[in-house]
Amino acid sequence: MRSRLAEQGYTTPSVSQIVPMIVGPSADTVIRAENLQRHGFYALPVRPPTVPEGTSRIRFSLTAALTEEEIDQIPL
């Protein structure tokens, strides 16, 4: 998941099972979250004041049960 996000140009500063996709501007993050939701993924934008301005993100919680095929279905 981290490598796929990095290939798409996203910063993913985490080594835990919670992988942030840092989008940047709040409005862009909301649009990306809505797109993920339309595709059936539970995705909520995390925006200021929870995170610093300009670092809005979507957090993915990964489990060992997640397959590569499922990761490939995530519309980034």
Residue 18 belongs to domain spanning: 2-64
Residue 48 lies in a domain: yes
In a domain, 9, yes or no: yes
pLDDT at 40: 87
Q: Evaluate whether residue 71 is within a structural domain.
A: no
In a domain, 75, yes or no: no
- Establish if 76 belongs to a structural domain: no
Look at residue 69 and tell me if it is in a domain. Answer: no
User: In sequence order, what DSSP letters do the residues of the chain get, joined into one string?
Assistant: -HHHHHHTT-B----SSEEEEEEESHHHHHHHHHHHHHTT----EE-TTSS-TT-EEEEEE--TT--HHHHHTS--
Confidence of residue 16 (pLDDT cuts 50, 70, 90): confident
Residue-wise pLDDT tens digits, 26-57: 999 999 999 999 998 888 999 999 999 999 99
CATH code, domain with 20: 3.90.1150.10
Rounded CA separation 66/50 (Å): 27
In-domain check, residue 72: no
Domain count, the chain: 1
Instruction: Please name the residues in contact with 65: beta carbons below 8 A apart, sequence gap of 6 or more.
Output: none
